[in-house]
């Protein structure tokens, strides 16, 4: 479809800003593995501290990139499928709130006044600009979502007996999860952390802040993932040359995510003594339940891909896999998505390990944790974002992909790097290697009394994998920015690949409406988080004064 200049420029800005910042995020990712491998035996390089870099890496990659992309992709999806562009004022307000908020948070981080990691746990204290900027980024994404709801409701009035397009269901489910879960972190930031950071309140309730964060924090993972799922269901079968085995399966999966994404955050707090055992047990069981939509997706996509391969003449039980268009430059998006799926197999399996209370205790706060989440965040999430960003860039600018061979190779090179990197971290984690720690200062510094030689090989694997990931990211930037600044050869448009359904499926009303699912979602969240919040309020102990990450002395004591 043809798009207005306004929408085209908005989406391009929402792709350009995070990809530009991603250059900083990937650089600091490389520096993290260099520090942790013991190559550097100091706390900073180029006047950027280890924890400052770790914060920049986490916030840019996990919050800024994903939020900007989800909004940009949402604009494209809603406009393409519902044939209605978003409201100009709402869209402009959304974009500027996100851009200004990101700049505020980035300024605080670059100035070294917000080295609190992407979880920004108190009592680590950041500059108020970090918290306010983060809140503005979130509120900006809400504005876009509210506008899409209006477009959807108007479309539904005119198409009551027509199935809502699967991609639209996925987009609205994703942002419903996002809106509900971010209300908790918005309260944490605006009510607890900003007054505390400004010095208006002397202490902060740490258990409550952590609980509110993880109400948001694990649902955030599904906010990252669902754009990938939309691409898996609605685009991947088409790119493979086949059809989607079942669109109804996709609807079921999306609505299950709506129910189960939020009420499972406490499994990140298994080590928190303030949360009771009953809450941990119930949320652990719900965490296992959220694997169900992923299993549905795995079966549906495998069937869809096998159908595509057999259409190409594949024979035998497994040989059909090699008939898929892995290295075709004209369908490069297939490579990004299929590599993400491969990594997600390992990410999902290791996630089940962490959902178990007893197994989680074995690897709690070790390098196994970032090894796991890089399989998911740096797997299907990151690769889908990279692939769709350059795909939309190509269409919205009417330009050819710069160095298409390099662009096609990037996801495979990245996948090799992630596998090596995550293997090293998870291996080290099983041997007790800590996360979020500059190992080069102590444990991997031969001059230190705390030198720990058992972690040398695992950390070197992490370094090797991280180096390969950095090279893949660098090649992607060459292709992305080369395309951006290339010559226009076609009219700008949005033409998303749309997968047809293999079977003619009847419309099932309950899978085409949000009301009953929203009611069940509210009930599950209430039952799972009321006791968790109660525990956090009643089992607080002494409230904590603020700390800076570089000094174990409370800030108020120094005054």
The two three-digit tokens of residue 213, written as one number: 């964060």
The two three-digit tokens of residue 336, written as one number: 């990004």
Q: Is 36 a catalytic residue?
A: no
The per-residue pLDDT for 182 is 94
Q: What angle do CA 262, 265, 270 make, to 5 degrees?
A: 160
Tell me if 550 is assigned to some domain.
no
DSSP line for 500-520: PBSS-----GGGG-SHHHHHH
The per-residue pLDDT for 275 is 86
Contacts of 506 (CB under 8 A, 6+ apart): none
Q: Which residue has the tokens 């089940």?
A: 352
Q: Is residue 553 exposed (0-12), middle (13-18) or buried (19+ Cβ within 10 Å)?
A: exposed
If one counts the domains in the chain, the total is 1
Q: How confident is the model over 181-229, as pLDDT tens digits? A: 999 999 999 999 999 998 888 888 888 999 999 999 889 989 999 999 9
Q: Is 267 a catalytic residue?
A: no
Q: Is 374 a catalytic residue?
A: yes
Helix axes 88-110, 65-82, angle to 10 degrees: 170
Q: Is 364 a catalytic residue?
A: no
Q: How confident is the model over 322-356, as pLDDT tens digits? A: 889 999 999 999 999 999 999 998 888 888 888 88
H or E segment and range at residue 49: strand 48-49
The two three-digit tokens of residue 168, written as one number: 């639209």
> What's the pTM?
0.92
The two three-digit tokens of residue 192, written as one number: 């607890």
Say if CB 23 and CB 477 are below 8 A apart: yes
Tell me if 85 is assigned to some domain.
yes
Tell me if 547 is assigned to some domain.
no
Tell me if 557 is assigned to some domain.
no
Q: Is residue 504 exposed (0-12), middle (13-18) or buried (19+ Cβ within 10 Å)?
A: exposed
Among candidate residues 372, 443, 514, 547, the one labeled active-site is 372
Q: Is 57 a catalytic residue?
A: no
Q: Is 145 a catalytic residue?
A: no
Contacts of 43 (CB under 8 A, 6+ apart): 49, 50, 438, 441
The per-residue pLDDT for 557 is 56
Percent of the chain with pLDDT over 90: 70
Say if CB 58 and CB 117 are below 8 A apart: yes
Residue 455 DSSP one-character state: G
Say if CB 41 and CB 446 are below 8 A apart: no
Tell me if 235 is assigned to some domain.
yes
Tell me if 485 is assigned to some domain.
yes
Q: Which 3 state secondary structure label does DSSP give 366?
A: strand
The per-residue pLDDT for 556 is 62
Among candidate residues 257, 307, 373, 421, the one labeled active-site is 373
Contacts of 36 (CB under 8 A, 6+ apart): 437, 438, 439, 440, 444, 459, 462, 463
For every one of its 559 residues, what pLDDT tens digit does the chain have, with 9 covering 90 and above? 788 999 999 999 999 999 999 999 999 999 999 999 999 998 888 888 899 999 999 999 989 999 999 999 999 999 999 999 999 999 999 999 999 999 999 999 999 899 998 888 888 889 999 999 999 999 999 999 999 999 999 999 999 889 999 999 999 999 999 999 999 999 999 999 999 998 888 888 888 999 999 999 889 989 999 999 999 999 999 999 999 999 999 999 999 999 999 998 888 888 888 888 888 888 888 888 888 999 999 999 999 999 999 988 888 888 888 889 999 999 999 999 999 999 998 888 888 888 887 888 888 889 999 999 899 888 999 999 999 999 999 999 999 999 999 999 999 999 999 999 999 999 999 999 999 889 999 999 999 889 999 999 999 999 999 999 999 999 999 999 999 999 998 888 999 999 999 888 888 999 999 999 999 999 999 998 998 888 888 877 666 777 776 666 777 655 4
The per-residue pLDDT for 552 is 64
Tell me if 163 is assigned to some domain.
yes
Q: How confident is the model over 119-157, as pLDDT tens digits? A: 888 888 899 999 999 999 999 999 999 999 999 999 999
Q: For the domain that residue 44 is a member of, what is the CATH number?
A: 1.20.210.10
Q: Which residue has the tokens 């809106």?
A: 179
Among candidate residues 130, 222, 402, 476, the one labeled active-site is 222
| Cα end-to-end span (Å), the chain | 61
Tell me if 34 is assigned to some domain.
yes
Nearest to 341 by CA among 371, 380, 393, 290: 380
The two three-digit tokens of residue 129, written as one number: 């600009």
> CA 142: distance to chain centroid?
17
Residue span of the structural domain in which 14 resides: 5-538
Beta bridge partners of 501: 244
Nearest to 141 by CA among 199, 95, 196, 204: 95
Among candidate residues 326, 412, 435, 474, the one labeled active-site is 435
Q: Is 436 a catalytic residue?
A: yes
């Amino acid at each position: 479809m043809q798009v207005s200049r306004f929408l085209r420029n908005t989406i391009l800005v929402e792709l350009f800003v995070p990809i530009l910042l991603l250059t900083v995020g990937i650089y600091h990712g490389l520096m993290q593995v260099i520090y942790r491998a013991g190559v550097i035996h100091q706390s900073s390089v180029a006047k950027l501290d280890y924890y400052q870099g770790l914060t920049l890496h986490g916030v840019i990659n996990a919050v800024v990139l994903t939020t900007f992309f989800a909004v940009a992709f949402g604009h494209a999806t809603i406009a393409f499928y519902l044939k209605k562009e978003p409201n100009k004022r709402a869209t402009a307000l959304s974009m500027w709130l996100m851009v200004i908020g990101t700049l505020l948070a980035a300024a605080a981080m670059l100035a070294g006044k917000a080295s609190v990691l992407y979880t920004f746990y108190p009592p680590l204290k950041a500059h108020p600009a970090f918290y306010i900027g983060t809140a503005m980024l979130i509120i900006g994404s809400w504005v876009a979502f509210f506008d899409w709801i209006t477009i959807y409701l108007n479309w539904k009035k005119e198409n009551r007996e027509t199935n809502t397009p699967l991609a639209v269901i996925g987009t609205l489910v994703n942002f419903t999860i996002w809106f509900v879960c971010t209300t908790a972190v918005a309260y944490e930031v605006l009510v607890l952390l900003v007054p505390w950071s400004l010095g208006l309140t002397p202490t902060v309730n740490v258990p409550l802040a952590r609980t509110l964060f993880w109400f948001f924090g694990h649902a955030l993972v599904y906010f990252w993932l669902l754009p990938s799922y939309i691409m898996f269901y609605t685009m991947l079968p088409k790119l493979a040359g086949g059809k989607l085995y079942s669109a109804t399966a996709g609807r079921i999966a999306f609505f299950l995510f709506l129910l189960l994404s939020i009420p499972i955050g406490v499994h990140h707090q298994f080590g928190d003594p303030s949360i009771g055992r009953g809450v941990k047990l119930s949320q652990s069981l719900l965490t296992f339940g959220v694997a169900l939509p992923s299993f549905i997706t795995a079966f549906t996509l495998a069937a869809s891909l096998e159908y595509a391969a057999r259409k190409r003449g594949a024979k035998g039980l497994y040989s059909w896999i090699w008939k898929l268009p892995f290295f075709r430059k004209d369908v490069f998006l297939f490579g990004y998505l299929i590599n993400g799926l491969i990594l997600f197999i390992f990410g999902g399996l290791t996630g089940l390990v962490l959902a178990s209370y007893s197994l989680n205790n074995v690897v709690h706060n070790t390098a196994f944790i970032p090894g796991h989440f890089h399989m998911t965040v740096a797997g299907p999430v990151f690769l889908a974002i990279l692939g769709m960003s350059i795909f939309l860039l190509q269409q919205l600018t009417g330009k050819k992909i710069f160095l298409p061979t390099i662009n096609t190779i990037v996801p495979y090179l990245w996948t090799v790097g992630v596998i090596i990197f995550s293997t090293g971290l998870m291996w080290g984690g099983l041997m007790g290697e800590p996360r979020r720690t500059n190992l080069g200062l102590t444990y991997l510094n031969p001059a230190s009394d705390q030198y720990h030689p058992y972690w040398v090989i695992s950390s070197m694997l992490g370094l090797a994998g991280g180096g390969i990931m950095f090279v893949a990211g660098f090649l992607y930037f060459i292709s992305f920015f080369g395309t951006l600044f290339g010559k226009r050869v076609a009219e700008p448009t949005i033409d998303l690949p749309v997968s047809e359904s293999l079977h003619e499926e009847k419309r099932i009303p309950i899978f085409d409406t949000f009301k009953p699912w929203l009611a069940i979602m509210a009930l599950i969240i209430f039952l799972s988080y009321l006791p968790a919040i109660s525990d956090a309020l009643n089992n607080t102990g002494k409230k904590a004064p603020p700390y800076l990450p570089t000094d174990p002395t409370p800030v108020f004591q120094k005054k």
